Structure 1
Amino acid sequence: MQTMEPENSHPRRPTIKDVADRAGVTKATVSKYLNRAHGYAMAASTRERIRAAIQELDFQPSPLARGLSRSATSTIGLVVADIRSQFYPDLVASIQAAAEAAGYTLVLGSSGDDPDRELDIIRSMAHRRVDGVVLVAVRSESDHIDYLRRRGIQIVLASRDLPELVADTVVVDSLAGGRAATRHLRELGHRRLAHVAGEATVKPFADRRRGFELETADLGGDGSGLPVEVAASTIDGGRAAAHRLLDVAEPPTGVFFASDTMALGGLMACADLGLRVPDDVSIVGFDNVAVGQLPGIGLTTIDSDAVRVGEQATELLLKRMLAPADADADPILVTRPAELVVRTSAAPPR
């Protein structure tokens, strides 16, 4: 026996026209309200009537339909190197909050620190017609930026910069931060120093290594310089590099790691080798990740100011997207100061 479905089992979804009729305005006015992030002016009383109508009708606008009408989708793409890194939570959260406050949805992609995968993610975002992209994973080439530009997509770099200023960029001063971290170890009395560096193709890592080298130029002894180990910016990478540095006859007494994530691996290596931090080895990182603040870790570090970097990067991107007069203006560089955060992982050598 066939069972008939009740007539109202699949009620019709409310439309913009339903909202307009309920609020006593035109469909065009409702459309302007839905696209308010794009600068449309509207009286407060009209806005409130439309808001109430949307709530009463439980109206859900389609971002894709809105995008088709104005060649935009109210989405912003964010590409990071490796979402598993301890560095990204604060940065991603701040970008998402700033984007959502302006009426945008964030689309996140993690490249796994693979340039080819990074380009695949960027292409996918371009096909989805994102309105803009925040790049955190970009390496020392601008091909990915050129790809987006050719498609009319605005870009901003956050926490990563390139040798040439090709797009709006917000970074912490990695060179000054590298110097400050190394200077702190020297001021504590360390002379046998070492550095765990990130890949040279990532400019912030190159700048941090340069800061270390400038602050230790007089400590090279025979001219060969102090030991530097290059590692992936992961816990495992930092752990392996620290083993190579510390499992020797005369290990360094102070090590500066180019990221807190690597420094956490360094702490694990010290435990592996029976070395106490900071009694046997002092460790300084870079980023000021949340886990470094935990009791028992107390990581001395340089603050990358991730929250403010993310906020400012999103503000610059929105300005480019929403103000036609600014869309083609020369790119700007915002360099935030690098501040030393002193905790317990670094102390005078024994």
Structure 2
Amino acid sequence: MNDGPAVEGAAESWAAPGEGAEARRPAKPTINDVAARAGVSKATVSKFLNVSLGYSVAPKTRARIEDAIRELDYHPSPIARSLTSGSSMTIGLVIADIMNPFFPDLVASLQSVVETRGYNLILGSSGRDGDREVEIIRSLIQRRVDGLILASVQGGSAELEFIEELGVPTVLASRDLPELLWDTVVIDNVQGAEIAVKHLRDLGHTRIGYVASNQSVKPFHDRLRGFEAATADLPDAVSVTVGSMMEDGRLGTHELLARTPRPTALHYANDVMALGGLVACAELALSVPWDVSIIGHDNISAGSLPGIGLTTVDSAAAWVGERAGELLLHRIGGPAAHGGPPQLVVRPAKLILRSSTAPPAEARGAAHA
């Protein structure tokens, strides 16, 4: 006997005890149940569920449907929605390297944005391999994703033109292309390097080194441009180009600190490389920041840990992911959204001051003289 109140409109399947039938769980609520509970038609509920396709529902009706969905604990089937709407309700995200701690904040904020609209996120990591990146993108398109977000991709316009030809809505995140193919969300990387150098120069550094990375990747290219522009009048400014991982930063640091005159400050193309720089300084028995100042780029969470205190340029990964998600949802939201030129959204870089930078020894000595 069921002592609880019946739920109007909810389908329930059961077998009476003692009749030799195995009791079954109540059937999952359907769109018909939601419509009955809200007092609207099935078509109206369908429009509510597919609002991303451009449908609209009156506010009072929307509130009744939302209440019914919550009370019934209704979860629409992604497959069923795909068949009825032509939408898979999935978005593909391609990142450069899942091991890079820059990406978790971007992925988390993007996932939060798209899930509020009923989309699922499919993640692919290329491992900084351009060919692998193209394979992942083609695989996502074959899965009929509704749109793509490409974060810090390795390929250029020529390698990615097939996406444009297939008409898949796409947004670039933390990576821009010389030819603006799609909506793009980036931090001003040139300015980011410039403010990093300005900080070092304001402290009194003139022998500044830069550990650069792959110049075919535009953010890295722009950061080197910013460094070169900001140090054009410094004869002892120097740079070296390596990979983008911690070990690359360690090796690049050893190379620069072996030079004469030795740099008193080093800037890095990303924070992971800067962490490698901290390791190299420890190996050389050099104190950071008293012997060498170090400044990174990205503002990964590890840089704020006690004992590291990495001064860095904030790449606002969470903001980039959120904004990219909003732009993509707008593009796939309906016929009217597909038109219009691509948008380039650029956010000014911001310097995060911590304990890894200080005036050079000669400046400290002059101050105490």
Q: Same fold (TM over 0.5)?
A: yes
Cα gap change, 1:227 to 1:48, in 2 (>3 Å): same
How many angstroms does 1:10 deviate by? 6.2
In structure 1, the residue matched to 2:136 is: 121
**Separation of aligned partners in 2, 1:348 and 1:53:** 63
- The reply to whether residue 294 of structure 1 matches residue 308 of structure 2 is no
SS at match of 1:285: strand
Offset of residue 182 of structure 1: 1.4
For residues 311 and 144 of structure 1, do their structure 2 counterparts lie closer, same or farther at Cα, with a shift above 3 Å needed? farther
Q: Which residue is 1:78 aligned to?
A: 93
Q: Shift in Å at residue 59 of structure 1?
A: 3.4
Secondary structure, aligned partner of 1:64: helix
CA contact (8 A) 1:157 1:167 kept: yes
Map of 2:256 onto structure 1 = 245
Distance in 2 separating the partners of 1:265 and 1:331: 38
Residues 140, 162 of structure 1: 8 Å contact kept:
no
Partners of 2:20 and 2:157 in 1: CA distance: 58
Shift of residue 56, structure 1, vs aligned partner = 4.8
Range with bigger deviation, 136-145 or 80-89: 136-145
CA contact (8 A) 2:247 2:276 kept: yes
Q: Partners of 2:305 and 2:71 in 1: how far apart?
A: 47
Q: State TM-score, norm by structure 2.
A: 0.86
The equivalent of 1:21 in structure 2 is: 36
Shift of 1:247: 4.0
1:47 to 59, 62, 65: 62
* Shift of residue 118, structure 1, vs aligned partner: 0.9
Aligned to 2:364: none
Structure 1 match to 2:358: 347
Is 1:231 matched up with 2:251?
A: no
What amino acid does structure 2 have at the position aligned with 1:64? I
Alpha carbons of structure 1 residues 186 and 52: separation in structure 2 relative to 1, 3 Å: closer
Q: Does the 8 A contact of 2:192 with 2:313 survive in 1? A: yes
Superposed displacement of residue 152, structure 1:
2.4
1:90 to 1:14, Cα distance in 2 relative to 1, 3 A: same
Does the CA contact (< 8 Å) of 1:111 and 1:137 recur in 2?
Answer: no
By how many angstroms is 1:144 displaced?
5.0
Structure 1 70/145 Cα, relative in aligned 2: closer, same or farther at 3 Å? Answer: farther
Larger radius of gyration: 2
Where structure 2 has 5 or more consecutive residues not aligned to the other structure, the ranges are 1-18, 362-369
Superposition pairs of residues 309-320 of structure 1, within 5 angstroms: 309-320=320-331
> Secondary structure of 1:79's partner?
strand
Where does 1:1-350 land on structure 2 (aligned, <5 Å)?
A: 6-9=21-24, 12-143=27-158, 145-220=160-235, 226-248=237-259, 250-350=261-361
Amino acid in structure 2 at the alignment position of 1:164: E
Q: Which shows bigger deviation, 8-17 or 75-84?
A: 8-17
The number of residue pairs the alignment matches comes to: 343
Preserved contact between residue 140 and residue 163 of structure 1 (Cα < 8 Å): no
Say whether the 8 Å CA contact 1:194–1:255 is kept in structure 2.
yes
CA 1:144–1:16 in structure 2 vs 1: closer, same or farther (change >3 Å)?
A: farther
CA contact (8 A) 1:139 1:162 kept: no
Give the C-alpha shift of residue 231 in structure 1. Answer: 2.2
Residue pair 1:140, 1:203 contacting (<8 A) in 2 also: no
Asked whether the 8 Å contact 1:118–1:137 carries over to 2, the reply is: no
Contact kept, 8 Å, 1:158 with 1:170, in 2: the verdict is yes
Quote the Cα distance in structure 2 between the aligned partners of 1:50 and 1:319.
23
Change (3 A) 1:5 1:200: farther
Equivalent AA in structure 1 for residue 264 of structure 2: T
Q: Secondary structure at the match of 1:319?
A: helix
Task: Tell me which moved more, 150-159 or 22-31.
Answer: 22-31
Shift of 1:349: 0.8
Instruction: Tell me the TM-score normalized by structure 1.
Output: 0.90
Task: Give the whole-Å Cα distance in 2 for the aligned partners of 1:333 and 1:323.
Answer: 21
- Which range moved further: 266-275 or 147-156? 147-156
CA deviations 1:250-297 (Å, max 9, x no partner) are: 431111101111111111111122111001110111111222122221
- Post-superposition offset of 1:199: 0.5
Structural RMSD (CA)? 2.2
Q: Distance in 2 between matches of 1:143 and 1:56?
A: 51
